[in-house]
């Protein structure tokens, strides 16, 4: 079987190349080419022709193709639809923030989690992405857009902790000094709440920011919008979050999509504040984005503001997430793995 070279770390590459009789420094050369965006072995001109041919025979190198690129007229947000090697497609979004350009990447083709408000889970999970496919979303978003990427959020299609090993490998590759060298503190990973995997991530003790999609403070409401809550109820999730903060010393960011009449009452704000009391936490309020198949509606601006104030009064820091790229369906929960029929 041909090996996927883009998903290999420097040690694995060194080992594989030494098996081909190559000296140690060769791996660094190849790694550098790969992480600068070489699309074929042919481009690696400081390697001999024979070696390039040998690599092409031993390894697959298959960068994603841009199927569609949309640029928001309101804020310059860019959404890419990529075609992967096997024909599957995923989306990534490049956002321009004052603190730097951020790319939101997908971790899976589709998603198995079934959240009621999210477009990415329609049609279920097709497959998990490789580490290399995640690296390529960052790398080729930067190369195609010409915008230097300084931050990454794993908040696109898929549940990153459902693809734990490949995501862990991706983090290692993207953080590597000879690769894109993006600092862990510039990376956020969002999960719907897979408790055992949150505990496993805590063991890795990384300096990234963990975001938890909470969306409701009680099991009664959370279970109706997030099936994962039936497996890992709020109390177990919060226990894992508290342990995570303790182990890593990092603050958790809780995402809360505000859905009119479902999770936006002031009693729910009180319950949320009580849940987070004494924790190293931050709440990110997201007015629900429109998803064609879902009847759920966003809370009004006044309700979002009142909810935020109720949290602040209890000493919980809460911010309202700015919505970027809504004119191109590039906002939270709007990413999809294929074209939609409304497409011209």
**Residue 113, Cβ density class (10 Å: 0-12 exposed, 13-18 middle, ≥19 buried):** buried
Is 255 a binding residue for ligand SAH by CB under 6 A? The answer is yes
Least CB distance from residue 26 to ligand SAH, whole Å? 38
Nearest to 93 by CA among 170, 156, 175, 183: 156
The DSSP-derived string for 123-151 is T-EEEEPPHHHHHHHHHHHHHHH-PPEEE
Among 93, 118, 238, 316, the residue binding ligand SAH under the rule CB under 6 A is: 118
236: annotated active-site residue: no
Binding status of residue 325 toward ligand SAH by CB under 6 A: no
C-beta closer to ligand SAH: residue 14 or 106: 106
Q: Taking Cα atoms as reference points, which of 43, 61, 53 lies closest to residue 2?
A: 61
Nearest distance, CB of residue 13 and ligand SAH, angstroms: 30
The span from the CA of 170 to the CA of 125, in Å, is 20
Should residue 299 be labelled a site residue for ligand SAH when binding is judged by CB under 6 A?
Answer: no
Among 134, 139, 210, 286, contact with ligand SAH (rule: CB under 6 A): 286
The catalytically annotated residue of 22, 91, 159, 255 is: 91
| Residue 292 to residue 163: CA distance in whole angstroms | 27
What is the nearest approach in angstroms of ligand SAH to the Cβ of residue 80? 17
| Min separation Cβ 288 and ligand SAH, Å | 4
Q: How far is residue 160's CA from residue 243's CA, in Å, rounded to a whole number?
A: 20
Any contact of residue 163 with ligand SAH (CB under 6 A)? no
Counting Cβ atoms within 10 Å, is residue 230 exposed (0-12), middle (13-18) or buried (19+)?
Answer: exposed
Asked if residue 289 binds ligand SAH (CB under 6 A), the reply is yes
Q: Which residue is nearest to ligand SAH (CB)?
A: 333
For the CB of residue 339, give the shortest distance to ligand SAH in the complex, in Å: 19
Burial of 23 (0-12, 13-18, 19+ CB in 10 A): exposed
Indicate which single residue of 191, 209, 299, 308 sits in contact with ligand SAH (rule: CB under 6 A). 191
> What would the x/- binding string for ligand SAH be over residues 192 to 221, using CB under 6 A?
x--------------------x--------
Question: CA-to-CA distance for 61 and 55, rounded, in angstroms?
Answer: 9
Span from 124-132, 245-253, 263-271, 284-292 in contact with ligand SAH (CB under 6 A): 284-292
Query: Which residues are CB-contacts of 304 (< 8 A; sequence separation ≥ 6)?
Result: 258, 264, 285, 287, 320
Interaction of residue 190 with ligand SAH, rule CB under 6 A = yes
Question: Should residue 257 be labelled a site residue for ligand SAH when binding is judged by CB under 6 A?
Answer: yes
165 carries an active-site annotation: no
E runs forming strands in the chain: 3-4, 59-60, 65-71, 78-83, 89-97, 100-104, 108-110, 125-128, 149-154, 187-191, 209-213, 252-258, 281-287, 318-320
Is 332 a residue that touches ligand SAH (CB under 6 A)?
yes
Among 91, 110, 333, 336, binds ligand SAH (CB under 6 A): 333
List of residues contacting ligand SAH (CB under 6 A): 113, 115, 117-118, 155, 159, 190-192, 213, 255, 257, 286, 288-289, 291, 332-333
Enzyme catalytic residues: 91, 332
């Amino acid at each position: 079987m041909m090996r996927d070279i883009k998903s290999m770390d420097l040690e694995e590459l060194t080992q594989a190349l030494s098996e081909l009789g190559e000296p140690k420094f060769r791996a660094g050369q190849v790694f550098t080419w790969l992480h600068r965006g070489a699309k074929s072995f042919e481009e690696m001109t400081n390697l001999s022709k024979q070696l390039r041919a040998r690599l092409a025979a031993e390894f697959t190198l298959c960068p994603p193709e841009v199927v569609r690129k949309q640029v928001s007229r309101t804020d310059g947000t860019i959404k890419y639809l990529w075609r992967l090697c096997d024909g599957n497609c995923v989306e990534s979004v490049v956002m321009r923030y004052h603190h730097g350009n951020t790319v939101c990447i997908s971790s899976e083709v589709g998603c198995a989690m079934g959240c009621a408000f999210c477009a990415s889970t329609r049609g279920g999970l097709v497959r998990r992405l490789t580490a290399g496919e995640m690296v390529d979303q960052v790398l080729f978003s930067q190369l195609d857009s010409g915008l230097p990427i300084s931050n990454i959020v794993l908040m696109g299609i898929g549940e990153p902790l459902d693809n734990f090993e490949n995501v862990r490998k991706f983090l290692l590759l993207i953080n590597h000094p000879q690769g894109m060298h993006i600092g862990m503190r510039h990376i956020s990973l969002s999960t719907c709440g897979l408790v055992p995997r949150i505990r496993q991530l805590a063991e890795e003790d990384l300096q990234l920011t963990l975001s938890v999609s909470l969306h409701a403070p009680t099991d009664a409401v959370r279970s109706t919008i997030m099936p994962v809550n039936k497996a890992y109820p709020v109390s177990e999730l919060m226990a894992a979050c508290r342990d995570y903060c303790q182990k890593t010393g990092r603050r958790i960011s809780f995402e809360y999509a505000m859905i009119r009449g479902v999770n936006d009452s002031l009693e729910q704000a009180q319950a949320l504040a009580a849940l987070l009391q004494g924790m190293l936490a931050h709440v990110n309020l997201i007015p629900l984005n429109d998803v064609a198949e879902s009847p759920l509606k966003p809370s009004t601006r006044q309700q979002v503001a009142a909810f935020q104030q109720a949290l602040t009064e209890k000493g919980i820091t809460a911010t309202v997430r700015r919505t970027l790229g809504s004119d191109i369906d590039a906002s939270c929960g709007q990413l999809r793995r294929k074209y939609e029929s409304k497409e011209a």
